[in-house]
């Protein structure tokens, strides 16, 4: 595999900026408590890739400084850890981790509710188990942030949430309690025996019907708000005479949030015809769409680019059978070359392993047309951008969460080991994996 690209920043202005940043950080009282020194540090931010660099972490769990070791003074008493390669903590853009467990048995398989085809009200927050052993196993490879939740397999299977892989409770782990609504337009969500949806046309009709109901509910909410405002403006207004609000409906309320673009809808679609259906739905209802899986995205590049839709691509090692028969190791490179934002996911399949390690998936993309830097971006900064959390994670920049992965060598080399993981400035794994 090729040597990782070096993009060392240089110049007196840059060094001066680093010195000022350090002095400002220390002046605010956020003391440096940890220094990570790397022979090569991939910041995945404006500073690029720096050889012989240091990342200073303050006592609030934030990054205080990233820069060349030679021009940085490490405060006395700061704990120091050395690594060959340092990257941002890895970001898995689509998983069922914490709902799917390590034993693949009924007691740790909460990722898919089969009782109804449309269930956007199901919260991943209510099913995520931070003490599931698979969480610690995944974290040990450098994965620090995961968008996890209900799996593809039903027309609308539920919600996802974004978590950090730390903490003993879901509240301690949660970054965003609801990150997207998960839908499926593919063969795997079709029903047999006369149940709905039995065809692709029925899938689209059912989704459109739910979105139209949500439009009507949104109008009813606005009408109620207008009537309530008019009532309160009356000088003799009585509380008991106030107009009654529309009846609560958890399902419809979630679709309203999708219509309002408060939440994106992630549609799992592999065949080109299903990708096209998802794009039509986006255009008709002006949805904030994320394409999930997208095995045949390579044949739909112009349409996806024109729609301005990001792709959370299938795992490289997903089995290529049935509707995923055209999955390709080269699709990620093609999408990136076309200017489409792409992340690589660990994904979900109904057999072991239910959660893959995205580091290995990105390595395969790097060996099949993607540059090392671009492949690393699919599991760091680009994944964070798709999830709208790039202000906090995905790159090593001052002020961002101190989430880092430490490696004994090139992270895409099979023989390299992850020797340490830091989340929010705390060392959460230090056993070589």
Q: Which two tokens stand for residue 231?
A: 């009532």
Domain match, 413 and 276 both: no
Q: Which two tokens stand for residue 378?
A: 């699919």
User: Does residue 35 contact residue 81 with C-beta atoms inside 8 Å?
Assistant: yes
**Whether the model pTM is above 0.85:** yes
Domain match, 427 and 342 both: no
Per-residue pLDDT of the chain (433 residues; tens, 9 = 90+): 333 333 334 444 444 444 444 443 443 456 779 999 999 999 999 999 999 999 999 999 999 999 999 999 999 999 999 999 999 999 999 999 999 998 878 888 899 999 999 999 999 999 999 999 999 999 999 999 999 999 999 999 999 999 999 999 999 999 999 999 999 999 999 999 999 999 999 999 999 999 999 999 999 999 999 999 999 999 999 999 999 999 999 999 999 999 999 999 999 999 999 999 999 999 999 999 999 999 999 999 999 999 999 999 999 999 899 999 999 999 999 999 999 999 999 998 777 666 789 999 999 999 999 999 999 999 999 999 999 999 999 999 999 999 999 999 999 999 999 999 999 999 999 999 8
Q: Say what the pLDDT of residue 351 is.
A: 72
Query: Would you say the C-alpha torsion 60, 64, 66, 68 has a positive or negative sign?
Result: negative
Total domain count for the chain? 2
Q: What is the pLDDT of residues 118-139, one digit of tens each?
A: 999 999 999 999 999 999 999 9
Number of Cβ atoms within 10 Å of the Cβ of 417: 17
Could you give the CA distance from residue 196 to residue 291 in angstroms, rounded to a whole number?
23
The dihedrals phi and psi of 5, each to the nearest 5 degrees, come to -70, 140
Domain match, 182 and 271 both: yes
Domain match, 262 and 406 both: no
Domain match, 98 and 49 both: no
Q: Which two tokens stand for residue 211?
A: 């979105």
Domain match, 287 and 180 both: yes
Could you give the CA distance from residue 227 to residue 231 in angstroms, rounded to a whole number?
6
Could you give the CA distance from residue 359 to residue 363 in angstroms, rounded to a whole number?
6
Domain match, 322 and 424 both: no
- Boundaries of domain holding 3: 1-88+396-433
Number of Cβ atoms within 10 Å of the Cβ of 78: 14
3-state secondary structure 364-401: HHHCCCCCHHHHHHCCCHHHHHHCCCCCCCCCCCCCCE
Could you give the CA distance from residue 388 to residue 60 in angstroms, rounded to a whole number?
22
Residue 174 lies in a domain: yes
CB-based contacts of 121, cutoff 8 Å, min separation 6 = 158, 159, 250, 251, 253, 254
The helix-helix angle for 272-285 and 200-233 (nearest 10°) equals 20
Domain match, 416 and 387 both: no
Q: CATH number of the domain that 378 lies in?
A: 3.20.20.140
Domain match, 71 and 117 both: no
Q: Say what the pLDDT of residue 102 is.
A: 86
Nearest to 300 by CA among 325, 330, 274: 274
Residue 244 lies in a domain: no
Residue 233 lies in a domain: no
Residue 317 lies in a domain: yes
Could you give the CA distance from residue 311 to residue 93 in angstroms, rounded to a whole number?
10
Residue 146 lies in a domain: yes
Domain match, 168 and 182 both: yes
Q: CA dihedral defined by 362, 428, 178, 124, rounded to 10 degrees?
A: 90
Could you give the CA distance from residue 205 to residue 199 in angstroms, rounded to a whole number?
10
Please provide the size of the chain in residues: 433
Q: Which two tokens stand for residue 366?
A: 């790097």
Q: CATH number of the domain that 429 lies in?
A: 2.30.40.10
Q: Which two tokens stand for residue 391?
A: 């202000």
Nearest to 130 by CA among 96, 161, 166, 160: 166
Domain match, 259 and 189 both: yes
Q: Which two tokens stand for residue 397?
A: 């920049």
Residue 182 lies in a domain: yes
Could you give the CA distance from residue 401 to residue 91 in angstroms, rounded to a whole number?
13
CB-based contacts of 336, cutoff 8 Å, min separation 6 = 342, 370, 374, 378
Domain match, 49 and 134 both: no
CB-based contacts of 140, cutoff 8 Å, min separation 6 = 418, 421, 429, 431, 433
User: Does residue 154 contact residue 112 with C-beta atoms inside 8 Å?
Assistant: yes
Residue 39 three-state SS: strand
Residue 239 lies in a domain: no
Per DSSP, what are the bridge partners of residue 79? 34
Residue 236 lies in a domain: no
Element (H, E) at 47: none
DSSP one-letter code for 185: -
């Amino acid at each position: 595999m090729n040597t990782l690209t070096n993009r060392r920043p240089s110049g007196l202005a840059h060094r001066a900026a680093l010195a000022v940043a350090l002095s400002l950080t220390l002046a605010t009282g956020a003391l440096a408590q940890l220094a990570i020194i790397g022979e090569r540090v991939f910041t995945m931010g404006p500073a690029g890739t720096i050889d012989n660099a240091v990342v200073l972490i303050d006592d609030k769990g934030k990054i205080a400084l990233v820069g060349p070791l030679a021009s940085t003074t490490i405060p006395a008493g700061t704990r120091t850890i050395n690594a060959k390669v340092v990257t941002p903590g890895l970001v898995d853009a689509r998983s069922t981790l914490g709902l799917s467990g390590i034993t693949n048995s009924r007691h740790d398989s909460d990722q898919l509710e089969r009782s109804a085809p449309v269930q956007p009200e199901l919260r991943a927050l209510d099913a995520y188990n931070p003490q599931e052993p698979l969480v610690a196993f995944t974290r040990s490879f450098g994965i620090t942030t995961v968008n996890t939740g209900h799996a593809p397999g039903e027309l609308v299977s539920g919600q996802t949430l974004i978590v950090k892989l730390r903490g003993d409770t879901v509240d301690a782990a949660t970054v965003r309690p609801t990150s997207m609504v998960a839908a499926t337009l593919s063969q795997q969500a079709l029903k047999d025996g006369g149940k709905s949806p039995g065809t692709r046309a029925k899938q689209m009709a059912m989704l459109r019907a739910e979105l139209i109901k949500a439009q009507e509910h949104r109008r009813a909410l606005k009408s109620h708000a207008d009537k309530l405002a008019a009532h309160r403006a009356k000088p003799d207004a009585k509380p008991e005479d106030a107009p009654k609000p529309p009846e609560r409906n958890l399902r419809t309320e979630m679709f309203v949030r999708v219509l309002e673009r408060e939440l994106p809808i992630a549609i799992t679609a592999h065949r080109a015809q299903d990708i096209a259906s998802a794009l039509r739905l986006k255009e008709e209802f002006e949805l904030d769409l994320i394409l999930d899986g997208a095995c045949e995205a390579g044949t739909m590049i112009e349409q996806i680019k024109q729609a301005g839709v990001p792709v959370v691509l299938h795992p490289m090692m997903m089995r290529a059978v049935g509707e995923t028969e055209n999955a390709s190791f080269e699709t990620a490179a093609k999408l990136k070359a076309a200017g489409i934002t792409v992340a690589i996911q660990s994904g979900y399949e109904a057999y072991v392993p239910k959660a893959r390690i995205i580091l290995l998936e990105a390595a395969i993309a790097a060996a099949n047309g993607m540059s090392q830097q671009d492949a690393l971006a699919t599991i760091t900064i680009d994944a964070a951008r798709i999830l709208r959390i790039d202000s906090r994670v995905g790159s090593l920049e001052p002020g961002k969460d101190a989430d880092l992965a430490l490696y004994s060598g090139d992270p895409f080399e099979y023989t390299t080991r992850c020797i340490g993981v830091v989340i929010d400035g705390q060392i959460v794994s230090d056993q070589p994996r």
